[in-house]
Structure formats: C-alpha cells, structure tokens
Amino acid sequence: MNLRHPAISFLGRLLITYIFATSGLGKIFSWSSNVAYMNAHHLPMVPVLLAIALIVEVGGSFCLITGFHARTAAFIMFLYLLAVTVLLHNYWAIPGMAGATMETHFRKNLAILGGLLMIASQGPGKWAIGGNDAY
C-alpha cells in the first residue's frame, strides 16, 4: 500500500475536519445552548468567544478540506483547540466518572492537536488548493 498517495493526506484532512465542521454547525444551530455551556465555565465575553470559535471551526474546516492555506489554518486551529482543551476539559478539577469522561475528551483533543501540528508542519498534500501550502 502506498501511503504517499495524495488521497491519504486528503482523507486525513477530512477525518480531522469532521469534528470541527460538526461543532461549528452545532454553534450555528444551537447558539443559546453553547452560550449556556460557556457561561457555566465562567468565561468572559461569551458571545465574542463563541463567534471566534465559530469562525475558527467553520473557516478552518473549509481550509483543511480544500487545502487552501491549510498550514496556517491548521496552526490557528491548533492554538484554538489547545485553549479549549485546557479551559473546557479540565478533568483534574472534576471528581468521579464525569472527570474520567472529561479526561477522555482531553486525551482525544491531544491526538487531534498532533494531527493539526502535522498538517501545519507538512502541509495538506498534493490534493489541495493554494499553491505554496502544498508540498
């Protein structure tokens, strides 16, 4: 099996994008639920932060799917997800089974962070729009 085939990089980008695209759509269609969730974590300027999250998730997904400025998008998404992971998946502060579930989300996010760093470092592959972003 040739793992250097352009379809492999494209499939990887699609798989990483899925969680961001669906989360972004969730923010569009369930804005008030997301505001309530963020308020429960005592975050400041919730509507502004939620709008930024929406832009990063939807805009970043577009960039990763198409490969357009994928390196830059992946790095911005990395920084965004790093902040989300530390602020909203703080399993160390949650007792019992809820803490264990949150730890799973934390570890899942670490894996996604690794994938985003790989895209930021290596580029989107040959099946991409955006010239100098592709290797």
Of 36, 60, 57, nearest in space to 46 by CA:
36
Residue 133 lies in a domain: no
| Separation CA 104–CA 60 (nearest Å) | 24
Per-residue confidence at 135, pLDDT binned at 50, 70, 90?
very low
| Separation CA 102–CA 116 (nearest Å) | 21
Residue 97 lies in a domain: yes
- Indicate the SS3 state at residue 69: coil
Number of domains in the chain: 1
Q: What is the pLDDT of residue 134?
A: 46
Per-residue confidence at 131, pLDDT binned at 50, 70, 90?
low
Residue 41 lies in a domain: yes
Of 5, 133, 1, nearest in space to 74 by CA:
133
Q: What is the pLDDT of residue 3?
A: 80
Residue 1 lies in a domain: no
Of 64, 77, 69, 68, nearest in space to 114 by CA:
77
Q: How many residues does the chain have?
A: 135
Residue 134 lies in a domain: no
Whole-structure pTM value: 0.92
| Separation CA 116–CA 48 (nearest Å) | 24
Residue 107 lies in a domain: yes
pLDDT 10s digits, 83-92? 999 999 999 9
Q: In which domain, by residue range, is 124 found?
A: 6-128
Mean pLDDT over each residue of the chain, to the nearest integer: 93
